[in-house]
Structure 1
Amino acid sequence: MIDRRAPEELSDDALAALSGADATRPLSLYLHVPFCATRCGYCDFNTYTAGELGSSSSPQSWMEGVRAELDHASSLLDSGRPVSTIFVGGGTPSLLGGDGLADLLGAVRHSFTLAPGAEVTTESNPESTSPEFFTTLREAGFTRISLGMQSAATHVLRVLERTHTPGRALDAAREAAAAGFEHLNLDLIYGTPGERDEDLDASLDAVLSVPVDHVSAYALIVEDGTRFARKVRRGEVPMPDDDVLAARYEMIDARLTAAGMSWYEVSNWARADSVGMPIPDSVCRHNEAYWRSDDWWGIGPGAHSHVNGVRWWNQKHPATYSASLAAGSLPIGGSEILSDDDRHTEAVMLRLRMRDGLAAAELSVDERGRADDAVAKGLLVSDGERYVLTDAGRLLADGITRDILVD
């Protein structure tokens, strides 16, 4: 049974679970930067432009809140527990500049110890980067850059309301590589209304022309409450077509595989070794922490956390978030304690999306029977110990999960 609590409160059981978390389990930190220069029409993330915030919040008050929340997290989790991965997301973290992001990583180091070989990633908008920006990040200790490219087609970027020019993402990737970053990701969005096969081909040509070792590709999803959703409702743009999305996914997978990359999660590809397996150093270990249900603490407005079966989420508005921390309280917006059934459902949903697949031992007898039905349909393969999505199954991963879990 999920135990839902009032805002700004964690139950005694939840606090006990946090302090009793296994110190040998990997720990990750996500840091949310809620600021954007403009809001993209398809985006439903917890972000704010300067005009939306007005005088109610600032990067300075946000940073003070972040430092306070890091100290709270360190105290509750035991500051001796090392951090294996850090991911700075948003929003647009690169709006903080190289020095601002270096200060953010310094705040983490003040409260936590980084594990040897820790992965430290930041998202960056190509338009707010420069050679000096990447040099500063590399010297500060960042190990990985994720750039939001989305498409190489100007008209596709226009529909998405992205402000960068197509070539800027490629220049930024080269600048990051020149600064010493060996691990670079480019994000693509496919299935945007008006996108043609040749547009996607051109985007993939562009991605493969620069020294990236990781690509994330996501189907455009129409999220309620966004400008894009309102345009769809008014008939100004069509809803993305499922058949087109499936065909585009197959195009992406074929091109990236032929170029020496390999999928390790349904929407993510990494550089592969000589036998076609993803190279561990090129895989995003932070994202793997989510899919394995490891422990992570989300720092910042609206950030979500999961530690030892407790999940909670922060208050969304930066001003409210900072005010709670200034008053000495955690900025909790809500929480839940996951039951065994909840954990099982999440394990099936998340692990089945990964190339390693799902252990048969995780499933009940009835669930294994339904998984075997998917094997018979060519959607899963099994060696008796694990179930893994086939190429066809990757297109239907969510439906396969629902079919396995249904009572």
Structure 2
Amino acid sequence: MDNQAQITRLHRVWLTVNQMVLDRGYVVAENETTITREEFQNTYGTASGVDRTALRQFFRHKESNSQLYVEFSTNTETGETIGIKPLRAFAATLAEHQCAVGIYVYAGKLSPSASKVALAVAAQHSIELFPESDLIVNITQHELVPKHEVLSKEEKLELLEKYRLKETQLPRILPVDPVARYYGLKRGQVVKITRRSPTKGVGGDGENCGGGMLHAGEDRLKSTEAPRLGELFLFVKRVFWVWFVFFCIWLWSLRNIHSLARREVSAIDPWPCRIHVTMSNLPSQPSRIVSTNPSLSCPVLLPDSAQTYRCPIANMSHLSYFNDPAAGKHLREAYNFSQSVRVGPNIHLSGQGGWNEKLEFSSDLSEHLEQAYLNIETALRAAGVERGWEGVWSVRSYHCPMNEEAFDKMVELNKKYMPNHAPIWTCVGVAALALPPMMVEIEVVAHIQE
């Protein structure tokens, strides 16, 4: 590149750099943003072109008083590669003058190791790398680029409060965006973008305006010339995790298949009750009939063919059984049944007859019924029903014989033992009862008052 072309190129880059620094809020001499080519050549030109060391400048921010340092690389050939040494010297200058931000403008290409220097010192200083080719034209002054304004913290809070937004609801701008690099945007900063509308003109006060926030996960320096090894590594890592998840799912399913194939069925039958049904006893549509095993109260759906059905026997260990110490004890030993059982808040009594403590029966019907009611009272109190007959709400009596005398006596005894309420009552006449001397057998259900 000849000297005149180099001067013209650096003059345009110099104007863009000064305008960029000014737009970021730093103090810039007015003549530096309007300097002509002739003035630039007279000030910074030499016999061999431009003195790049003279282009180094320090700028101070208008509000925060922080410093920004701009340096141009000394190489003049666009194809020359810049190594790590110039970048280390640039970082040392930033540390020496306590500059928060540094802009390094280079003409050639950066080596991968040189790009890593900027990342290494990112915690102390923000180093921004710009090739001269990106600064020949000020992109913010192009007619197709809308106006961008970086909002202050107060303006940002006012915007979010006005529209009731969260930061995550704003559109994102990547740090590699040319305008984001021009303004040196950092994570969390919001930019107001004013676009020209063909129908409404230039938007104002939010009209035809848009906003963007720098992506929260991309707060790091990037150079357009630096190889994007980080992005490649991120892509490889994502692909690896996807395949790893699929491999784990496949391995888990394979393990379950093998475990099912090797599982041994226990020889213990968990269905101890078997109900055998034959077609000879079924009507024309047996599949619609529901039968019940009388001993287990287990509903069974009968199919169209003879099969064996099984239902589990419920565990009865949670129930409480009671017997009075006199006749109840003898009946328990002789016939293996209990006088009463508690199911929830109710006491269910088995059939009580007119026996005395020695299991003797009276031949007189009236005395027989009286004794049966006394036996029920005794059994209820033995089961914990302190109110006795006052807690009974269901009565079922079986009579042998069933006549008017027996019925009238039952009505009399019901009124005598339950004067304050009338329970439900079923009175049935039967041909015979369990023991020949028995003339009545009465079942009752009583409620325990907690």
Please give the TM-score of this superposition, normalised by the length of structure 2. Answer: 0.20
Higher RCO (Cα < 8 Å, 6 or more apart): 1
Please give the TM-score of this superposition, normalised by the length of structure 1. Answer: 0.22
User: Would you tell me which structure has more helix in proportion to its own residues?
Assistant: 1
